[in-house]
Amino acid sequence: MKAYPEPLDQLIAALSKLPSIGRASAERIAFYLLKQRKEDVGHLSQLIGNFKAQIFYADHCHCLSDSKQCHICTSPSRDRGIICVVESPKDVISIEKTGSYFGTYHVLLGSLSALEGIGPGDLKIEDLLERIRKDKVREIILALNPNTEGETTALYLARILATLPVKVTRIAHGIPVGSMVEYTDQATLSRALEGRLPVKT
């Protein structure tokens, strides 16, 4: 039995494919849009249609940007001598939100994965080496994910960078703030012990 008119049915089907939207939410959104003013719906349609053409991976650092030069790299208040290496543009956003990092970023656009067939040539490693040479970089902070792919990538990068006159560090892994020792998994706890720091008094 055909319950919805065709255009509505197609929209609901398309919305259901989006992450975190199920069939029921898609129906709710479609009916919501049906009630909105035509201009507002047209605006949303345009935003979706145009944003892909307006967003690039910036040259050199591969952060998401609306121009070829990323606003972090070009900011006079950022220290271009420190580069934080991350896997995806989302990681940049997360670190920016902390408000406690004032260097620049380098997005690898992935991590080494034998399973998915992603090798060093698929990541933006060459660009990173070029930046280190050009910008007289003093420190590379590896902020890769603590999983198999991230660890492999970190190890690979650390070996390559060891030949260059640059300090290589990793962000600390340990007990999350607000969590408890009792409930922390063994892998995290052992990393927290390895990464122990002298107490300042």
Residue closer to a second copy, measured from CB, 116 or 130: 116
By CB under 8 A, residue 133 contacts a second copy:
no
Counting every residue written for the chain, the total comes to 201
CB 175 within 8 A of CB 161: no
140: tokens are: 């590379």
User: What is the 8-class DSSP label of residue 83?
Assistant: E
By CB under 8 A, residue 155 contacts a second copy:
no
| DSSP notation for 129-154 | HHHHHHTT--EEEE---SSHHHHHHH
Query: Candidates 7-15, 113-121, 145-153, 165-173 — which segment interacts with a second copy by CB under 8 A?
Result: 7-15
Query: Candidates 48-56, 132-140, 158-166, 179-187 — which segment interacts with a second copy by CB under 8 A?
Result: 48-56
Q: State the CB neighbour count (10 A cutoff) for residue 144.
A: 22
- Measured from the CB of residue 165, what is the shortest distance to a second copy in angstroms? 32
- Measured from the CB of residue 186, what is the shortest distance to a second copy in angstroms? 29
By CB under 8 A, residue 29 contacts a second copy:
yes
Name the packing angle between helices 23-35 and 6-16 (round to 10°): 130
Residues forming contacts to a second copy in the complex (CB under 8 A) are: 1-8, 10-11, 14-15, 18-21, 25, 28-34, 38, 41-55, 64-66, 71, 90, 92-93, 96-97, 99
